[in-house]
């Protein structure tokens, strides 16, 4: 009898728990919206099938997308294969359905409501429900994932997720925002509640776990240190959605690790790799006069886009004693002859960046100009900081014998010649640049752990507005695995960033953004490098693109996944019949070089 009573109590407790999950009442006055009117941007001529052969410079340190060592280039293959509630149309910039079919804005200027597509499934066949979004909030707040940025964002920027039923939920921001900014903040992606357990060993336990996803691809074969492949889900739940038809066309994506770009390019010329980025000027200008190009087997395209670009340049670690002095940091900026690098090694193809990121309209201060190369000014600033004695090789030093040197950590071999130009010129100002090339994943880990003096790298652009908290707030200083590579802790920046995060009026927010940029410029912690307002790519003729080639917001024309925050990826396909002809060794075609300036906004 006692056993029966116990079982009844368990059942009753479970029923009460389920009842409480959906206890909230949905507001009755919501004005539901959707968007099935915007033009499609994929080609109806696209064909399913085939394999995309691509490559990675290094094998990832984890398959996790959060936590230690997760912030690598490979993460995008997983993260952008995980759909959110909605995405943004790459030309109209309006929201379009993803996991949600409809959305509505609450009266509090903080909350958005969503109706999930009942057909949405995880890759293991489990339905996507509102509980997966509730769990996402819990997971991202948990200390076991060891991800301070996510802990903070999902505590201060996203403060609540409410499930009204299995397919209806709301997401609430931490402060009132305009509808546009709510769209920038609340596009939450779910986490599979049926898969993860938030245990103390979460980081180790899930380091190589292949978590279920909501996108069209799943990891298939893994050869640790050598290769990773993805396979297309034939019965993917999103196959027939308007904005996903004719996309994600290849059946398999093969990523082989090739640790040298020159070797990778030889693989490309042999047809072992299908597409190759040629943004690097020396590659575009000097390495495309081969039989494969002359015989029309490989095409080239120079495609201008119109999108935000992340910051590219020197990130100075203020925790280093020498770099704690703003006069030294400003002196270093004046000792770097960026313009000579742009005019010579980079063939004038790139443009100088002046601020921490570009392409965000009024959120960027156009009056900020990067410090120019000025030997006299650099030496004056070094002298003010005590470095006024001439040492061996003309390098300045102070009375204690400390030399004016800067160790530069970077991860791309092809950047060595660029930095060598800067090193040569910097010696004229008494500065010794010490170049430290480190393998991609290992090098970026060293940067995140703040083991650098100067980090030379570029961040991906994204979002509707610039992000500052992760890069400049003191909460992320002197901590490993954060993006504050500057180790900057500045009260003025903290106050501006705090106001920026909660300000609702977009004009006021833009003004705060400009103030943040001016303060970053005053502190001289970031030395801007350059920007590249286009993608340049080579591809074997059998890889096909839509007639429009790409979208306004396409960072790459051959990205196989969704893209973020704009839906831009998976537009290409493989023409198998043409591939056989091309691979026969007998085919010849007219060479093709296309320059598409449809979305060009920079000076002609």
Look at residue 444 in the predicted model and tell me its pLDDT: 87
Q: How far apart are CA 322 and CA 324, in angstroms?
A: 6
Q: For 295-327, what is each residue's pLDDT tens digit? A: 999 999 999 998 888 899 999 999 999 999 999
Closest Cα partner for 163 from 30, 26, 28? 26
- Answer for the pair 164, 24: CB distance below 8 angstroms, yes or no: yes
In this structure, the strands spanning 51-56 and 351-352 are: unpaired
Long-range contacts of 102-105 (CB under 8 A, 24+ apart): 102/32, 102/33, 102/34, 103/32, 103/33, 103/34, 104/30, 104/31, 104/32, 104/33, 105/31, 105/179, 105/182
Residue 440 has pLDDT above 70, yes or no: yes
pLDDT tens track for 39-62: 999 999 999 999 999 999 999 999
- Of the given ranges (2-16, 196-210, 375-389, 420-434), which has the lowest mean pLDDT? 2-16
- Closest by CA position to 86, among listed 604, 583, 565: 565
Exposure of 584 in the CB half-sphere (CA atoms within 13 A): 10
Q: Give the residue among 310, 262, 314 at the shortest CA–CA distance from 419.
A: 314
For the record, the structure tokens of 223 come out as 């050869």
Which tokens go with 583? 């691979």
Average pLDDT over residues 523-534: 96
Instruction: Give the phi and the psi of residue 266 in degrees, each rounded to 5.
Output: -65, -40
Residue 603 CB coordination number (10 Å): 5
pLDDT in tens, 277-295: 999 898 999 999 999 999 9
Distance CA 574, CA 168 (A): 38
Residue 8: pLDDT band with limits 50, 70, 90: very low
* Cis ω before 394 (30° cut-off from 0): no
How confident is the model at residue 23, as a pLDDT? 65
Q: Which helix (H) or strand (E) holds 96?
A: strand 95-97
CB atoms within 10 A of CB 390: 10
Per-residue pLDDT at 604 exceeds 70: no
- Measured CA to CA in angstroms, residue 22 lies from 165, 254, 535 at distances of 6, 43, 47
Angle at 188 between CA 184 and CA 194, to 5 degrees: 175
Q: How far apart are CA 175 and CA 193, in angstroms?
A: 27
Pairwise pLDDT comparison (458 vs 602), residue with the higher score: 458
Q: Ramachandran region of residue 107, left (φ > 0), alpha (ψ -120 to 50) or beta?
A: alpha
What's the number of CA atoms in the CB half-sphere (13 Å) around residue 468? 33
pLDDT band at 218 (very low <50, low <70, confident <90, very high): very high
CA distance 146 to 150: 9
42 CA to centre of own chain: 23
Q: Which tens digits make up the pLDDT trace of 58-103?
A: 999 999 999 999 988 899 999 999 999 999 999 999 999 999 999 9
Q: Give CA separation, 38 vs 34, 35, 89, 94, 96, in Å.
A: 11, 7, 8, 8, 8
Q: Tell me, what's the pLDDT at 324? A: 97
> Which three-class secondary structure string do you get for 362-383?
HHCCCCCCCCCCCHHHHHHHHH
pLDDT band at 601 (very low <50, low <70, confident <90, very high): confident
- 3-class DSSP state of 340: helix
CB atoms within 10 A of CB 496: 22
What CA–CA distance (Å, rounded) separates 481 from 450?
8
Q: By mean pLDDT, which of 30-44, 211-225, 249-263, 496-510 is the weakest?
A: 496-510
Written as one string, the DSSP assignment of 97-146 is ESSEEEEEE-TTSSEEEEEE-TT-B-TTSPBP-HHHHHHHHHHHH-GGG-
Backbone angles phi, psi at 414, to 5 degrees: -65, -15
pLDDT for 15 equals: 38
Q: Which residues pair with 172 in a beta bridge?
A: 111, 160
CA-closest candidate to residue 454, choices 316, 288, 587: 316
Query: Taking all residues of the chain, what is their mean pLDDT, rounded to a whole number?
Result: 93
- Name the percent of the chain lying above pLDDT 90: 85
Q: Residue 26, CB half-sphere, CA atoms under 13 Å: how many?
A: 21
* Torsion over CA: 251, 595, 345, 297 (sign): positive
Confidence of residue 251 (pLDDT cuts 50, 70, 90): very high
How close are the terminal C-alpha atoms of the chain, in Å? 86
Q: Which of 504, 412, 480, 577 is nearest to 71 (CA)?
A: 480
* Tokens 């279920």 belong to residue: 212
Give the per-residue pLDDT at 72.
84
Mean pLDDT within 145-172: 95
Q: Does pTM top 0.75 for this prediction?
A: yes
Q: Is the pLDDT of residue 447 over 80?
A: yes
Q: Is the Cβ–Cβ distance between 381 and 328 less than 8 Å?
A: yes
According to the 3-state scheme, what is the secondary structure of 484-537? Answer: CCCCCCCHHHHHHHHHHHHCCCHHHHHHHHHHHHHHHHHHCCEEECEECCEEEE
* Closest to 338 (Cα-Cα) out of 241, 440, 235, 421: 421
Q: What dihedral do alpha carbons 150, 151, 155, 156 form, nearest 10°?
A: -60
Compute the CA torsion angle 59, 526, 330, 476 (nearest 10 deg).
Answer: -90
Q: Cα(296)–Cα(405) distance, rounded to whole angstroms?
A: 49
């Amino acid at each position: 009898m006692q056993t029966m009573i116990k079982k009844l109590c368990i059942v009753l407790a479970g029923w009460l728990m389920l009842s409480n999950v959906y206890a909230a009442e949905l507001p009755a006055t919501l004005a539901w919206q959707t968007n099935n009117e915007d033009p499609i941007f994929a080609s109806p001529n696209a064909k399913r099938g085939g394999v995309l052969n691509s490559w990675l410079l290094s094998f990832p340190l984890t398959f996790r997308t959060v936590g230690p060592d997760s912030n690598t280039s490979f993460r995008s293959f997983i993260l952008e294969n995980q759909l959110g509630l909605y995405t943004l149309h790459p030309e109209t910039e309006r929201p379009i359905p993803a996991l949600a079919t409809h959305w509505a804005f609450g009266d509090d200027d903080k909350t958005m409501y969503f109706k999930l597509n009942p057909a949405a499934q995880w890759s293991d066949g489990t339905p996507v429900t509102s509980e997966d979004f509730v769990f996402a909030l819990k997971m991202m707040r948990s200390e076991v994932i060891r991800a301070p940025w996510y802990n903070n964002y999902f505590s201060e920027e996203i403060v609540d997720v409410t499930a009204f039923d299995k397919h209806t939920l709301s997401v609430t921001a931490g402060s009132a925002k305009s509808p546009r900014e709510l769209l920038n903040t609340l596009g939450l992606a779910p986490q599979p509640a049926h898969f993860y357990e938030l245990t103390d060993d979460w980081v180790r336990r899930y380091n190589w776990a292949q978590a279920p996803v909501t996108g069209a691809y799943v990891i298939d074969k893994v050869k640790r240190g050598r290769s990773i492949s993805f396979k297309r889900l034939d019965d993917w739940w999103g196959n027939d959605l308007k904005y996903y038809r004719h996309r994600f066309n290849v059946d398999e994506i093969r990523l082989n690790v090739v640790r040298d770009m020159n070797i990778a390019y030889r693989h490309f010329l042999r047809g072992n790799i299908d597409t190759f980025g040629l943004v690097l000027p020396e590659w575009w200008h000097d390495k495309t006069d081969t039989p494969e190009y002359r015989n029309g087997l490989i095409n080239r395209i120079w495609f201008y886009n119109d999108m935000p670009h992340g910051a590219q340049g020197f990130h100075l670690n203020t925790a280093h004693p020498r770099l704690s002095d703003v006069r030294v940091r400003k002196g270093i900026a004046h000792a770097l002859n960026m313009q000579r690098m742009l005019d010579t090694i980079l063939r004038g193809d790139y443009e100088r960046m002046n601020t921490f990121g570009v392409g965000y309209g009024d959120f960027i201060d156009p009056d900020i100009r990067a410090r120019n190369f000025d030997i006299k000014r650099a030496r004056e600033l070094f002298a003010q900081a005590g470095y006024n004695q001439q040492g061996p090789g003309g390098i300045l030093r102070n009375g204690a014998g400390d030399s004016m040197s800067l160790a530069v950590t970077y991860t791309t071999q092809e950047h060595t010649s660029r930095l060598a130009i800067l090193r040569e010129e910097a010696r004229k100002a008494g500065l010794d640049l010490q170049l430290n090339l480190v393998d991609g994943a290992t090098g970026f880990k060293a940067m995140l752990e703040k083991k650098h003096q100067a980090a030379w790298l570029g961040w991906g652009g994204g979002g509707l507005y610039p992000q500052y908290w992760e890069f400049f707030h003191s909460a992320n200083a002197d901590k490993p695995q954060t993006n504050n590579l500057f180790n900057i802790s500045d009260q003025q920046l903290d106050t501006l960033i705090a106001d920026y995060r909660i300000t609702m009026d977009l004009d006021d927010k833009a003004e705060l953004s400009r103030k943040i940029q001016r303060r970053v410029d005053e502190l001289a912690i970031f030395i801007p490098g350059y920007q590249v307002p286009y993608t340049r790519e080579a591809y074997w003729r059998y890889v096909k693109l839509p007639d429009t080639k790409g979208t306004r917001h396409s960072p790459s024309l051959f990205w196989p996944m969704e893209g973020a925050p704009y839906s831009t990826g998976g537009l290409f396909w493989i023409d198998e019949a043409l591939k056989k002809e091309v691979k026969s060794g007998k085919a010849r075609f007219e060479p093709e070089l296309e320059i598409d300036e449809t979305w060009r906004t920079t000076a002609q």
